[in-house]
Structure 1
Amino acid sequence: MMAGGRRRSVLGAGIGLWVMLGAGLALAEETPAVQVTERLSTRVTATGKPLVLPAHDARLIVTDYVIAPGATLSVHKHPFSRYAVVMSGTLRVMVAEGGPSFDYKAGDIIVEMVDEWHYGTNTGTDPVRLIVFDQVEGDRGPTVAAPH
């Protein structure tokens, strides 16, 4: 009698395992291999002005920025649209001479203003890490420093 009970237990466990594996495979088949999630779609900068793209001889520049806690970038502007992904830290971008300010944190996407003087400050206790994408014309640089 014991042998038959064990046989049923082993058979039951085997069927249970087969059902669980089958369910796991079914779930794996339902999960897409590639997921695409739109993070941002815009035609305007942070200040609401239209994006500006190079008309000729477009060049892409991708740059890593690391801004120390408490550090402030000097006042500058960009001749073309600039985009950044905040990888870590907290950054405040301020339009110079009393304009609005914008706060960004890890995971945010920045669409910087074009042809407007501005600067940024790391307002947190950790370094700000950015991946920055610039589109410029020819050999032009992505940033214009404010005159002193």
Structure 2
Amino acid sequence: MIGFKTCLASAAAACLLASSSVLALEAVTVKPLAEKTETASGQPIGLPRKDVRVLVSTYDIAPGARLPVHKHPFARYAVVQGGTLEVTNTATGASTTYRTGDVVIEMIDQWHHARNIGEDAVKLLVIDQIEGAGGNTVLHRD
């Protein structure tokens, strides 16, 4: 049987942990960057269904550099940490310009290209959700 002192010690520890959690949460500031339900081209966001892997990468794109025409079979998200990036949907010709602080929800399975249109390097934090061992970029073959 558990004694009174043991119960009292357990209750005190629980109170201490609860108050520590509250103090820790008060020291955290959350700044939402984006809330989206569609990709950059207006598609509903679709996610992989099996053998899901999450890849987190950084990209540095030099001033004036242009990425080749490509597409992503699965969801890709990016946060622009620096620079100015222009992304163009090759089917529609529609372009979107992203700047520092913007969140990019890449189009899924649509051909597009991107280029650094600013004077500084574009710095991206990229998160991919993919199936299996493959990657998330398919290059267009001319």
| TM-score (norm. length: structure 1) | 0.76
- Separation (CA, whole Å) in 2 of partners of 1:71 and 1:53: 30
What's the Cα RMSD here? 1.3
Equivalent residue, structure 2, for 1:33? 27
- On the 8 A contact 1:91/1:122 being kept in 2, the answer is yes
- Separation (CA, whole Å) in 1 of partners of 2:117 and 2:52: 34
- Separation (CA, whole Å) in 2 of partners of 1:97 and 1:70: 23
Equivalent residue, structure 2, for 1:131? 125
Alignment: residue pair count: 118
Equivalent residue, structure 1, for 2:64? 70
- Separation (CA, whole Å) in 1 of partners of 2:84 and 2:118: 5
| TM-score (norm. length: structure 2) | 0.79
Unaligned 5+ segments in structure 2 are 1-25
> Which secondary structure state, in structure 2, belongs to the residue aligned with residue 91 of structure 1?
strand
Residue 110 (structure 2) pairs with residue 120 (structure 1):
no
Mean Cα deviation higher: 95-104 or 69-78: 95-104
Runs of 4+ in 1 over 6 A off after TM superposition: none
Write out per-residue CA displacement over residues 64-85 of structure 1, whole angstroms, 9 at most, x where no aligned residue.
1111100000000000110001
Residue 93 (structure 2) pairs with residue 93 (structure 1):
no
Q: Computing the radius of gyration over CA atoms, which structure comes out larger, 1 or 2? A: 1
> Which secondary structure state, in structure 1, belongs to the residue aligned with residue 93 of structure 2?
coil
Match of residue 50, structure 1, among 18, 32, 44? 44
Which letter maps to 1:112? E
